[in-house]
Amino acid sequence: MSDGAQGDGHGAGRNEADGNPAEARQAGSISDVTKEGQQGIRPSREALVGAQDLTGGERPGGNGAGADAGKRHGKGRHRRGRARGRKGEQTMVPEAEFTSYYGRPVLNQPAWQPLNIAGYFFLGGLAGAGSVLAAGAELSGRPVMARALKVTSTVSVAGSAAALIHDLGRPGRFANMLRVFKPTSPMSVGSWLLAAYAPASFVATLCDAGGKLPRIGRTATVGAALLGPAVASYTAVLAADTAVPGWHEGYRELPFVFVGSAATAASGMALAASPLAENGPARSAAVAGTALENAAMKAMERRLGLVAEVYREGRGGRWMRAAEALSLAGAAGAAVLGGRSRAAAGLSGLALVAASACTRLGVFHAGLESSKDPKYTVVPQRRRLQERERSQGGQRLSGTPER
């Protein structure tokens, strides 16, 4: 080998060792280790896709004309490829799986205690629906049923407020929610509903029990009956306003489930506490409430799809199956034997009350289970995104301008 060749070789070695590392990497003289642990050559900055240089740079070993041609053809093909992708070309990238870091839940677990919040749901529904039935019984000349339901509603709303305050930890937190009225907050609206409903129910019960101030008692009874449906259903709106999939995804049907369950509980208390001569409206309400609750629950399960698993399986599924069996048995007993046998009416009424309590526990535990598994959060979101993309694609193909 000549001296000139040796000198060139030593010069090349000196450039690799002492020269610019970026230039050395671009020239392919420095190797890197990938994340998979394999050692190879870092590719040049030109992004080559097949035989095309989409960055417009010159390919290694190519001439200027080829580079210019590649630039022109590469950009054109890239644009056409993007245009074809908008018309429905399938992507080669696989969809991401619904996973989370170390299998942790995507959502924070609700801090609500089962007995506190499920009891809050159940007792609030019993109180609200009980006031409606109490007003109807009083106006139709059924004093025993009216008085029993008034007492039940007053005790129930007091227990509901106590369960809520116990879950909050301090009574002052409930009072703080009454400092402002925020129509967009279900918790704020519900707090004001309880603050208005509870005194009306208490006055109606006190006047009826004491036999004094009948006009004030009648006004309080009607006022409690007007607020009763909102008290019975707002807890469903409160639950659906959270990010818990089992509750949030069922925002359409869940209020009807709660109203039907509340009517079932109130009619059950009326059947258990009133004589046979006065329990006709209670028997009708039992059948109607059971039908509404079960029909709304079935409709919600059909619409929820994957999320409906939490209402069929696990602890939530067991409570919901018990609620369905008890409500159907109680409604059948009330319709067939409730007008003939005092014992049958009482047993049917207790079964209806237990069914309503099981429904609230089932809904609560189903929501908790849905917040633990990431798939109940990710899959519905992905489905809504795909539906939105399909609708937007249909608008583009039909020529309808997007908003």
| Residue 167 confidence (pLDDT) | 82
More confident residue, 329 or 390: 329
pLDDT at 170 over 70: yes
pTM passes above 0.75: no
| Residue 383 confidence (pLDDT) | 80
pLDDT in tens, 226-277: 999 999 999 999 899 888 899 999 999 999 999 999 999 999 999 999 999 9
pLDDT at 386 over 70: yes
Q: Convert 215-278 into a string of H (helix), E (strand) and C (coil).
A: HHHHHHHHHHHHHHHHHHHHHHHHHHCCCCHHHHCCCCCHHHHHHHHHHHHHHHHHHHHCCHHH
More confident residue, 176 or 158: 158
How far from 333 is each of 283, 320, 330, CA to CA, in Å? 9, 20, 5
pLDDT in tens, 51-62: 444 444 444 444
When mean pLDDT is compared across 238-242, 288-292, 397-401, the lowest value belongs to 397-401
pLDDT in tens, 176-202: 778 888 888 888 888 899 889 999 999
More confident residue, 327 or 188: 327
Contacts of 365 (CB under 8 A, 6+ apart): 114, 314, 315, 316, 319
pLDDT at 31 over 80: no
When mean pLDDT is compared across 10-14, 241-245, 340-344, 381-385, the lowest value belongs to 10-14
Domains defined for the chain, CATH in brackets: 114-372 (1.20.1630.10)
Coil, strand or helix at 107: coil
Average pLDDT over all residues of the chain: 78
pLDDT at 38 over 80: no
